[in-house]
Amino acid sequence: MSAPESFQAIIVGGGLVGSAIAWGLAREGLRCVLLDEGDIAFRASRGNFGLVWAQSKGQGAPHYQRWTRYSANAWPELARELADAVGADVGLHQPGGVHLCLSDKEMADRADRMAQMAREAGNSLPFHYRMIEAPELRGMLPQLGPSVVGASFTPYDGHVDPLRLLHALHRAFTGAGGVYVPNAKVERSDAAPRDFRVMAAGRVFEAPRVVLAAGLGNAALAPEFGLSAPVRPQQGQVLVTERVAPIFTMPTTSVRQTMQGSLLLGDSVAEVGYDISQKPAVMAEIAKRAVLSFPFIARLNIVRAWSALRIMPKDGVAIYDQSERFPGAFTANCHSGVTLAGAHARLLAPMIAAGQLDGMLDPFSARRFDVRDAA
């Protein structure tokens, strides 16, 4: 092993969560090293759908709803600073978004869910939404099929090119002096309060802060730092069509048009462990729902498809923690690396730089599971 290399922060994980935090820390002036895996890895950042989405997150968990809203609000600033830093256009577009309902039952359930979220939001950051019936919705999305009975709409939603985002974050991070080390799966680590050593890629890195953003890898890594990250893989599959001239004015939860023109059709949910094989039956279900939503899509060619693994915390809500045993060690775990990039870069990173998570993140601690499991 070579001599230790000193940094002010070590970030483990070069996906969207890790690189958003890394960029945020580098922007705060910290000298950072970002440790990443190599070309072949489970990377949710390669497989996500690209929504910046508030209306589906945080039902029954108002703190998560609020955090998501903060992130959506922080997003324009993140996009601007990436444009300034590296000239990147990440394609952020936040015109609001809809969740399409294909039956009266879906519409009623959705209305209940939206009402609950509005109740839980309270008055500090009110949650405005509308349930829109088909005739009005057709005015917004003329290509809708006859099976669509309506949709929920919130003005906070949007989308972005998640791959451009990842590329831009990496460029901005290294442009700000950050050191990126690939093929650097953590081999060993030594933790002491505000004094961490991580061995990876045959090198030794030391810093008073370490941020674990290794996605599914956090589950095994967190205990080494006195933390807990109960996350599991959840498979999602997505289909991509050929490019079409601009047609949609806003994204939906299951169909969106990318800035290149392709339609993304998604996305499925399957609990199959560490399995990224594609299943024609699942792909067919995605296709069917897309065609029911927008019949013209039936004629389009599918040019690409994939399955990837979400990083799903036990209760679906993000986990943020600072280690009690080893202060200076933090974890960030979520399945919404795109939506939450704004919060991670602009809110979470400054907290980590200052050495203290804000009280609003207390309910995100993994300690919530201890309480629940003990009960």
Partner 1 sequence: MFDLAIIGAGPAGMAAAVEARALGLSVLVVDEQPAPGGQVFRAVEAAHGDAVLGAEYSAGLGLVESFRRSGATFRPGTTLWHLDPDAGELSLTPGGPAQARRVLLATGAQERPVPIAGWTLPGVMGMGAAQIMLKTAGAVPAGRVVLAGQGPLLWLLAVQLKRAGAAPVLVLETTPKGRLGAAFRAGGWFRGRALLLKGLGLLREARGLAVVRAVTGLRAEGAGRVQRVAWDGGSAACDTLLLHEGVVPATQVPLALGLEHAWDAAQQCWRPVVDDYGAASHDRVAVAGDGAGIGGWQAAVAAGQLAALDAAHRLGRLTAAGLAQRAAPVRRMHAEALALRPFLDALYAPSAAVLAPVDDQVMVCRCEEVTAGQVRAAARLGAQGPNQAKTFLRTGMGACQGRMCGATVARLIAEIRGVAPETVAPLRPRAPYKPLTVGQLAGL
Partner 2 sequence: MYATRPEARPATVEVFVDGVAVMVPAGASAAAAVLLAGAAAIRETSISGAPRLPYCMMGVCFDCLAEVDGAPNVQACMVAVAPGMRISRQRGARHV
Nearest distance from C-beta of residue 90 to partner 1, angstroms: 13
Report the residue from 117, 198, 210, 290 that binds partner 1 according to the rule CB under 8 A: 290
For residue 329, how many other CB atoms are within 10 A of its CB? 27
Report the residue from 83, 134, 140, 244 that binds partner 2 according to the rule CB under 8 A: 244
Nearest distance from C-beta of residue 255 to partner 2, angstroms: 13
- Candidates 90-98, 193-201, 294-302, 318-326 — which segment interacts with partner 2 by CB under 8 A? 294-302
Report the residue from 1, 245, 374, 375 that binds partner 2 according to the rule CB under 8 A: 245
CB 58 within 8 A of CB 64: yes
Report the residue from 79, 213, 229, 283 that binds partner 1 according to the rule CB under 8 A: 283
Angle of helix 62-86 relative to helix 162-175, nearest 10 degrees, comes to 60
- CA nearest 101: which of 132, 135, 143, 55? 132
Give the C-alpha separation, 137 to 21, whole Å.
38
Give the C-alpha separation, 183 to 351, whole Å.
28
Angle of helix 62-86 relative to helix 104-121, nearest 10 degrees, comes to 90
Nearest distance from C-beta of residue 363 to partner 2, angstroms: 45
Give the C-alpha separation, 154 to 186, whole Å.
41
The entry of partner 1, partner 2, none near residue 115 (CB within 5 to 8 angstroms by kind) is none
Nearest distance from C-beta of residue 258 to partner 1, angstroms: 11
Q: Is 281 in the site for partner 1 (CB under 8 A)?
A: yes
- Closest to partner 2 by CB, 13 vs 91, is 91
Q: Is 146 in the site for partner 1 (CB under 8 A)?
A: no
Q: Is 255 in the site for partner 2 (CB under 8 A)?
A: no
Report the residue from 99, 110, 171, 335 that binds partner 1 according to the rule CB under 8 A: 171
Residue 375, CA distances (Å) to 101, 127, 313, 368, 371 in order: 37, 32, 19, 11, 6
- CA nearest 58: which of 68, 46, 48, 50? 68
Give the C-alpha separation, 106 to 114, whole Å.
12
List residues near partner 2 by CB under 8 A: 143, 242-245, 247, 260-261, 296, 299-301
List residues near partner 1 by CB under 8 A: 14, 36, 38-40, 43, 45-46, 163, 166-167, 170-171, 174, 180, 182-183, 239, 241-242, 260, 265, 277-281, 283-284, 287-288, 290-291, 297-307
